[in-house]
Amino acid sequence: MHLAVILGLALGGTWLFALWSLPLWVLAIFVLQFFRDPARQPPQTPGVVISPADGRVVAVEQGQDPYLNRRALKISIFMNVFNVHSNRSPLAGRVRNRWYHPGSFLNAALSKASLENERLALWIEADSGEDVVCVQVAGLIARRILCYVNPDDLLVRGQRYGFIRFGSRVDVYLPPQSIPLVTVGDRVTGGLAVVARLAGNAPH
């Protein structure tokens, strides 16, 4: 819808004032690249957790899962405005619950954004039994979080489950024994990059 409106304005501007339509075409190209959502085939290795988003890893740490009130391994991925913003399920499982929290719109790269910004958390019970929480966090520019799934829905690994409009982040809370396979600063691709391995599936 947004792209159709901008393209219409750009075409109209080109017809009326060719030179002045350039900013509208730049805006149209930006919106087109922002809302792109390429098809991806996730890895099928048992027990791995894939990245729910494109972006840069900004946190890999042990801490407290505020949604299930437990210790957890937290992996956070920051998305800038040039990343694909479609969010994908990090593993296969059943949605147990979802929580929406209104909040601020701090820079999503900041650690405190996880608890202070507007966010939507999804509790997924993996097919292998582990509990995983995936949190969409709005950012400085983001003003809308979309989540397409509800409690009791079944997810397959890499399935699109949501979208965040403009710069934002996704936090993943895993069982504390999980093994991280990324470090801070790594660039990851949603639906493709493996970010962790659940402890019960670690190689011996």
- Measured between alpha carbons, how far is residue 151 from residues 30, 72, 88, 93 in Å? 34, 22, 16, 11
pLDDT over 50 at 193, yes or no: yes
pLDDT over 80 at 125, yes or no: yes
- Read off the pTM: 0.81
Q: What is the mean pLDDT of residues 57-80?
A: 96
pLDDT over 90 at 77, yes or no: yes
Q: Which of 86, 114, 168, 178 is catalytic?
A: 168
Q: What is the mean pLDDT of residues 27-40?
A: 58
pLDDT over 90 at 85, yes or no: no
| pLDDT reported for residue 113 | 83
pLDDT over 90 at 164, yes or no: no
Please confirm, yes or no, whether 104 is among the known catalytic residues: no
Rounded CA-CA distance 185/182 in Å is: 9
pLDDT over 90 at 3, yes or no: no
